[in-house]
Structure 1
Amino acid sequence: MIPDVPNSDSELGHFANGTDSIDPNLLDLQSTSREVHLRIEGGRRLRGEVALKASKNAAVALLCASLLNYGVTKFLNFPRIEEVTRMIEVLESIGVKINWRESNTLELRRPKELRLENLDEEAARRTRSVLMLIGSLMHDHLEFDIPYAGGCKLGERTVKPHQYALEEFGVNITATDKHYTVKVNKKAPGEMTLYESGNTVTNNTILAAARTEEGTFIQAASCDYMVQDLCYFLQRLGVEIEGIGTPLLYVRGLSRIKKNIEYTPTEDPIEAMFFISAAVTTDSEITIRRVPFRWISLELMKLKKMGLRYTLSASYRAANGLVDLADLTIHRHEGKLSALPDKLHPNVWPGLNPDSLPYFAPIAGVVTGRTLIHDWMYECRAIYYAELSKLGIKVELLDQHRVYVRGPSELIKADLSCPPALRPASLLLIGMLAASGMSVLKNVYVINRGYEDLAARLNMLGASVEVFS
């Protein structure tokens, strides 16, 4: 099991009286180590259009994958978020040359020899994504250390699936006091089955197979969006991959990869769910542009059965030419939504995405009836949903996995600190947008891990969100 690493995001105490107000349209959240907070004047209906950014989960996998390539890698329209910044700090510390260009283009040049002994442990411990470095580094290094992974605090999150998968490639992982020590005696597994269909473990396995010349059959692979994006990128590098979007992948790798490449990751379906939830909770009509709608098709169907009206435009291709997008308009419901008769629960794709599930909690607070949300994948995340009760949403915590949410609720203002998990923290922001009066959300680093320029983009929709420190 991963050790219980102390949360690095310190809680803010009582506010001092002269805080510094920051223009959210100019704020570069990656340039400051100060705690950043939001002041939200809620009770406003949103209106207008917002375009999605590329996804956090795809971006961090692509950064790890860039280490496989000895050529120049350029990622276009890359998200400038805290999680990406932490991974960039890690890569730069081991010798990768990284530059941000115009229009969020990120250019990476890896050296012939990486300096793994210089790895930035502080940055690495603030993200779980460092685990995916193992699948990339194992091809050129016989022994190295990876710090214990951080990220969202969602209970015990075992690394055993990574260990079991990479053992098939001759990788031995041993936990020490502060690190995982990785030793490599590389071999080709041929055919293998994953211990669980997790996203990061599937990505790690694909990265291990991407420079294994013999073909690898991977059974029980995750089919989720970030896995698909990684596969599409590796195909552009020349790796042969069959079965993308299915639980059975065939990967035939290359012994060495050196190619100058440009790739644009697909827009974030979970960010789409944030804006959908914000629109429904505030009873607003907005248009969300560039939605990878097939990756949230079940989520949209559930909302339709609640009574939500929405419109999808004709589909068009993402910039990578691989994924279908559409513009999604959420219409006002005017309080006419009803709770579903059965529970909401996550599953592997094409099931309801585990990161989409939390966004149904504030929605359940404004529909008529009682909704059971069963968040079975994580030991603790459902507990954070109970924080919505401080905003007036009726939440009954049944156990660490299940909550009942009863609506409709009259939301109220509050001053709260973000819980140490991205999606639960962003739920509080959604609730504050709907609650009349002035609310404060403290220490929003965890939200900035996954969402870019969120305050400014909400303000463009008619919200009133002030960033201050």
Structure 2
Amino acid sequence: MIPDVPKSSDPEPGSFINHADTLASNPLGFQSINREVHLRIEGGRRLHGDITLKASKNAAVALLCASLLNYGLTRFLNFPRIEEVTRIIEVLESIGVKINWRDSNTLELRRPKRLMLENLNEEAARRTRSVLMLIGPLMHDHAEFDIPYAGGCKLGERTIKPHQYALEEFGVSITATEKRYTVKVGKKAPGEMTLYETGNTVTNNTILAAACMAEETFIQAASCDYMVQDLCYFLQSLGVEIEGIGTPLLRIRGLPKIKKNIEYTPTEDPIEAMFFISAAVTTDSEITIRQVPFRWIALELTKLKKMGLKYTLSSSYKAANGYVDLADITIHRHWGKLSALPDKLHPNVWPGLNPDSLPYFVPIAGVATGRTLIHDWIYEQRAIYYAELSELGIKVELLDQHRVHVRGPSELIKANMSCPPALRPASLLLIGMLAASGVSILRNVYVINRGYEDLAARLNTLGASVEVFS
């Protein structure tokens, strides 16, 4: 049975304050979907100084979708202003959610009593795969609805079957029609269920489906990754009971109706930490990265240590949300003395090496002595994009669509290139250009701006020379 929409007599949980700094004012210059932005990089400079991480992209988009469960005022602090977030905000605004940036990184949201799904911004929705996570929240007060096909990085065939199988347990059917998914809901409590695939997005969707079920849901084979944990912590703050956070076994008892004023700060981005680590290593620089959720990249740091990298880890302290342990990491110069690992590098579910961390080992392997086998088995085509680093002088041999050999050390050279249609491979080109002597051009960096906030300016604070132009 679909729960009733809250009655108009329900007291409003708090006033929504309008401010001049709205999304429409675009104070940080978000890139238009149709406007190309490029970078001019004067490379060969050694980086120095310190940089503070922004909040996680992958956690942020899940939290935006989760805000639809709350009829109260949701306020996110230190929220990333990136293109991926902007696309989801455009979708939410189009269906009636009131959204306001109180300052550069404080975001307020309040959903209406009735969402206007017929007005959904399809152009924005098709630019991100995160729209799939709208199904979990929307199933609680809509018997039938459509969402456009999901977009995002072009990394080969990415099936939604795991989402279909998981949500079927809640009485949801998803049918693919022309350019959209039709969702029909006959809501039921699944009790105990096992996910078909241990993926982050499907785990989040399943958690969001369980969050408004009064009956207990037991989920087996859940992802334990950082964005899943962040979503769980947020839902706990709303009053949802969740046991087993950080394990593949989740026990959830939800609330049929959530109406609460809440303030939550997502945790800093471990993948952004890996970007800056890779940039420091590839340019043989010493920098300090602050507010790193170091336990979420523990294996990555161990691999780097075995390659000969020296780094210093500060004492740990809690993130602003009170849950996650952070530390400051200083990456020291390696002076060209890194060695390739004797075994392959490959991703796995947490606590394995994160799939989004793996690409950042490609330029690192390019400055290490020896040959490194990188096996990116999760995505069908991402390894193909790694071969583009060859244009910058890194010796990359493509073995098949999943595996590359990287031989180092390489002397990096300048280049004029366009970004591939995938976030992490595109950012690798930027790292390579930072290390290459001379002026390089990186064209159409929209895909990088999907995941990294104000990256050119932040790199320039570290001594880089990166100019944005269009």
After superposition, residues 282-361 of structure 1 pair within 5 angstroms as: 282-361=283-362
Counterpart for residue 125 of structure 2:
124
Deviation at 1:399, TM superposition (A): 0.1
The amino acid across from 2:257 in the alignment is: R
Which whole-Å CA distance do the structure 2 matches of 1:252 and 1:101 have between them? 33
Counterpart for residue 57 of structure 1:
58
Deviation >3 Å, runs of 4+? 30-33
Q: String of CA shifts for 1:228-251, please: whole Å, max 9, x gaps.
A: 000000000000000000000000
**Contact in 1 for aligned 2:42/2:440 (Cα 8 Å):** yes
Which whole-Å CA distance do the structure 2 matches of 1:190 and 1:27 have between them? 46
Which whole-Å CA distance do the structure 2 matches of 1:271 and 1:178 have between them? 33
**Contact in 1 for aligned 2:71/2:111 (Cα 8 Å):** yes
Which whole-Å CA distance do the structure 2 matches of 1:109 and 1:160 have between them? 31
Which whole-Å CA distance do the structure 2 matches of 1:231 and 1:183 have between them? 26
Deviation at 1:30, TM superposition (A): 4.0
Which whole-Å CA distance do the structure 2 matches of 1:142 and 1:34 have between them? 38
The amino acid across from 1:114 in the alignment is: L
Counterpart for residue 264 of structure 1:
265
Which whole-Å CA distance do the structure 1 matches of 2:284 and 2:180 have between them? 48
The amino acid across from 2:399 in the alignment is: L
Which whole-Å CA distance do the structure 2 matches of 1:359 and 1:174 have between them? 37
| Distance 1:184-1:27 versus aligned 2 partners, 3 A rule | closer
Which whole-Å CA distance do the structure 1 matches of 2:31 and 2:137 have between them? 26
Deviation at 1:28, TM superposition (A): 1.9
Deviation at 1:27, TM superposition (A): 5.4
Q: Which has the higher contact order (CA 8 A, sep 6+)?
A: 1
Counterpart for residue 41 of structure 1:
42
**Contact in 2 for aligned 1:76/1:103 (Cα 8 Å):** no
2:456 is the alignment partner of 1:429 = no
Q: Which secondary structure does the structure 2 equivalent of 1:47 belong to?
A: coil
**Contact in 2 for aligned 1:89/1:120 (Cα 8 Å):** yes
Q: Which secondary structure does the structure 1 equivalent of 2:49 belong to?
A: strand
Which whole-Å CA distance do the structure 1 matches of 2:32 and 2:194 have between them? 42
Deviation at 1:102, TM superposition (A): 1.6
Counterpart for residue 242 of structure 1:
243
Which whole-Å CA distance do the structure 2 matches of 1:285 and 1:223 have between them? 32
Deviation at 1:31, TM superposition (A): 6.0
Counterpart for residue 233 of structure 2:
232
Q: String of CA shifts for 1:365-385, please: whole Å, max 9, x gaps.
A: 000000000000000000000
**Contact in 2 for aligned 1:30/1:81 (Cα 8 Å):** no
Which whole-Å CA distance do the structure 2 matches of 1:157 and 1:368 have between them? 35
Q: TM-score, normalization: structure 1?
A: 0.94
Counterpart for residue 19 of structure 2:
none
Counterpart for residue 23 of structure 1:
none
Counterpart for residue 74 of structure 2:
73
The amino acid across from 2:204 in the alignment is: N
Which whole-Å CA distance do the structure 1 matches of 2:300 and 2:29 have between them? 32
Counterpart for residue 87 of structure 2:
86
State how many pairs are aligned: 444
**Contact in 2 for aligned 1:266/1:320 (Cα 8 Å):** yes
Q: String of CA shifts for 1:50-69, please: whole Å, max 9, x gaps.
A: 00000110000000000000
Q: Which secondary structure does the structure 1 equivalent of 2:287 belong to?
A: strand
The amino acid across from 2:318 in the alignment is: R
Counterpart for residue 98 of structure 1:
99
The amino acid across from 2:74 in the alignment is: T
After superposition, residues 208-219 of structure 1 pair within 5 angstroms as: 208-219=209-220
Q: TM-score, normalization: structure 2?
A: 0.94
Counterpart for residue 115 of structure 1:
116
Deviation at 1:120, TM superposition (A): 0.3
Which whole-Å CA distance do the structure 2 matches of 1:224 and 1:43 have between them? 35
| Distance 1:427-1:437 versus aligned 2 partners, 3 A rule | same
Give me the CA root mean square deviation. Answer: 0.8
Counterpart for residue 439 of structure 2:
438
Counterpart for residue 461 of structure 1:
462
Which whole-Å CA distance do the structure 2 matches of 1:281 and 1:381 have between them? 20
**Contact in 2 for aligned 1:30/1:85 (Cα 8 Å):** no
**Contact in 2 for aligned 1:63/1:87 (Cα 8 Å):** yes
Q: Which secondary structure does the structure 2 equivalent of 1:376 belong to?
A: coil
Counterpart for residue 153 of structure 2:
152
Q: Which secondary structure does the structure 2 equivalent of 1:189 belong to?
A: coil
The amino acid across from 2:110 in the alignment is: R
The amino acid across from 1:86 in the alignment is: R
Q: Which secondary structure does the structure 1 equivalent of 2:380 belong to?
A: coil
Counterpart for residue 401 of structure 2:
400
Q: String of CA shifts for 1:82-131, please: whole Å, max 9, x gaps.
A: 00000000000000000001241000010000000100000000000000
Deviation at 1:29, TM superposition (A): 2.8
Counterpart for residue 162 of structure 1:
163
**Contact in 1 for aligned 2:31/2:37 (Cα 8 Å):** no
After superposition, residues 350-429 of structure 1 pair within 5 angstroms as: 350-429=351-430
Counterpart for residue 183 of structure 2:
182
Counterpart for residue 11 of structure 1:
none
| Distance 1:197-1:32 versus aligned 2 partners, 3 A rule | closer
Q: Which secondary structure does the structure 2 equivalent of 1:207 belong to?
A: helix
**Contact in 2 for aligned 1:71/1:259 (Cα 8 Å):** yes
Deviation at 1:32, TM superposition (A): 7.6
Which whole-Å CA distance do the structure 2 matches of 1:391 and 1:213 have between them? 56
